[in-house]
Amino acid sequence: MSAASDAPPAYDAKSLPGFQIASAPSAKNSDQEKHIQEIIKRVDEFEKQNPGVIAKNILDALKTVNIDAAEALIDLPKHVKSINTAFEDISHVLGRLDSKNYRKKKDDGSPDGDYIPKFQNDWNAIHAEFTKQLGKSREVATDSYQRAKEFRQMYVPMFKNDNVPLDAKKKELEHFMKKLETSQATAKDVCDGFMEIPRRIREIKSRIEYSLNDVNGNLEEKIARLRRDIEQLDEKLGKYEQVAKVATYVAAGGAVACVVGAAMTASVILAPFAVIPVVAGAIVGTVASLVAIGYATAGLVTEAEREDKVKELTQILKDKDEFVKLRGDVDKALQQCDSLCIRILAIASVWSLIRTQCQAIHGHMTTAQEGPTQYSFDPSMELAIQPYAELENLLFYYAANVAATDPGGK
């Protein structure tokens, strides 16, 4: 991993890196898996030979930004496993929520409007995006590591070779700076990709919480309406009972009038006016009896309707209790979102620092490129060489650790 210690070769234009290698080795070629396996095998040996030295300055810088970023880099497989576990736990709970087919209120405030959205598939898509970004970051880290190694092994000896003309050095430096710009751009893409995931997590969390409030409002409205219906039915039943009692009393009075009228007819022969009480009493008794029967029947129908409403209310109350429990589980699961976002942002901050380092190195190279003499060129290149060596170690370590989180080697 250290720079070659042999004396620099004599200058030969045909041996310059620009002639030998048109571009850095790509992580996407057929040697990618072989290279990844080589990194995995060498990482333990490298750590033993360089205890506590792996990108020490970069790790220290990370700690000033976010301690989680340093911890994420030091034990990335464990860090990624905790992220995947959180994604899976929340997905399981959202699957339970989706299966209930809960509704929200209608626009007019009445219950049982549209179904609330399903969330599990959207959540799983965010998890899949994280996995995709992790794989992409491994490829970018591997590509960038190869460029850094190429710079150390092939360009640095040439830049330090006094036999190489300054113009030739600048030409090759310009050639390599374009590769570094690619590393810088891809590091930004990876950083942006990881930073987008927490935004999506916060957005779906907000939508879930909003929908849970909708469900609760719908259930509360159904309960309130059923209770009002039952109260109204109770009032009707009370009125029916009173009317039925009066009708029964009147029916009894009509029968008495009928008997009295008949007696009067028998005792007073040919008294036509005696027929009137008989007829009137019969009519009143019959009508009152029918009224009593009608209201009694209406009362039975209302009582049956009330029983149905009570059963419906009992079921809704059970549904509400079940929802409250499930909502508690969802809320508990969603509490992981904040720490989940922090852990993902920790990885993003690693790439933010990689991009910043690339910018700083590019700046030193630009200064060297613009320097008119070898004396101005050399100091600026030294300022680029040391941090680039540290960046190489960081990229090496990151690629190895990400590979360890991906048993499938995709």
Collect contacts of 60-68 with beta carbons under 8 A, ≥24 apart: 61/353, 62/349, 62/350, 62/353, 65/349, 65/353, 66/345, 66/346, 66/349, 68/342, 68/343, 68/345, 68/346
Q: What is the pLDDT of residue 339?
A: 86
Integer Cα distance of 173 and 155 in angstroms: 8
Average pLDDT over all residues of the chain? 76
Per-domain boundaries in the chain = 31-224+335-404, 226-330
Q: Looking at residue 254, what is its pLDDT?
A: 47
Number of residues that this document lists for the chain? 410
pLDDT, mean of residues 30-38: 52
* Chain centroid offset of residue 367 CA: 45
Residue 210 is given by DSSP the state: H
Nearest to 223 by CA among 103, 312, 306, 108: 312
Least confident of 246-255, 265-274, 315-324: 265-274
What confidence category does residue 266 fall into, taking pLDDT thresholds of 50, 70 and 90?
very low
Q: How far apart are CA 385 and CA 361, in angstroms?
A: 8
**How does pLDDT run across 98-152, given as a tens digit for each residue?**
999 999 999 998 999 999 999 999 999 999 999 999 999 999 999 999 999 999 9
Torsions phi, psi of 50, nearest 5?
A: -130, 60
Task: Give the residues across from 338 on adjacent strands.
Answer: none
d(CA 53, CA 60): 11
- The Cα-based distances of 139 to 11, 132, 263, 282 in angstroms read 34, 11, 116, 103
Give the confidence band of 10 by pLDDT, cuts at 50, 70, 90: very low
Task: Answer with the residue of higher pLDDT: 97 or 237.
Answer: 97
Per-residue pLDDT, averaged over 272-288, amounts to 46
CA distance 398 to 183: 15
Q: Of 72-81, 92-101, 183-192, where does the model show the most confidence?
A: 92-101
Once rounded to an integer, what is the mean pLDDT over residues 255-282?
Answer: 43
Asked whether residue 245 carries a pLDDT value surpassing 60, the answer given is no
pLDDT reading at 91 higher than 50: yes
Residue 169 to residue 330: CA distance in whole angstroms: 61
pLDDT tier at 294, thresholds 50, 70, 90: low
H-assigned helices in 50-105: 56-65, 67-74, 76-99
Inter-residue contact 109 to 221 (CB < 8 Å): yes
- The confidence score (pLDDT) of residue 12 equals 39
How many Cβ atoms sit within 10 Å of the Cβ of residue 354?
26
190-218 per-position pLDDT tens digit: 989 998 999 999 999 999 999 999 999 99
Beta bridge pairs of residue 103: 115
101: left (phi over 0), alpha (psi -120 to 50) or beta: left
> What's the predicted TM-score (pTM) here?
0.71
Q: Which of 91-100, 165-174, 244-253, 262-271 has the lowest mean pLDDT?
A: 262-271
Query: Would you state the torsion angle of the CA atoms of residues 364, 367, 369, 374, taken in this order, to the nearest 10 degrees?
Result: -100
Alpha helices in 268-335 (DSSP H): 275-334
> Rounded distance, CA 106 to CA 118, Å?
18
Q: What is the pLDDT of residue 252?
A: 53
pLDDT digits (tens, 9 = 90+) for 315-371: 999 999 999 999 999 999 999 998 888 888 888 888 888 888 898 899 999 999 998
With 60 as the cut, is the pLDDT of residue 310 above it? yes
SS3 115: strand
| More confident site: 139 or 291 | 139
Determine the pLDDT at residue 309. 82
Question: Tokens at residue 234, please?
Answer: 């109770």
Residue among 128, 146, 134 nearest 32 (CA): 146
Report how far residue 16's alpha carbon sits from residue 37's, in angstroms, rounded to the nearest whole number: 30
Instruction: Give me the pLDDT at residue 307, please.
Output: 84
Per DSSP, helices labelled H in 104-165 are 120-150, 156-159
**pLDDT bucket at 7, cuts 50 / 70 / 90:** very low
pLDDT reading at 23 higher than 50 = no
Q: How far apart are CA 240 and CA 365, in angstroms?
A: 97
pLDDT of residue 68: 58
Q: Is the confidence at residue 251, as pLDDT, over 80?
A: no
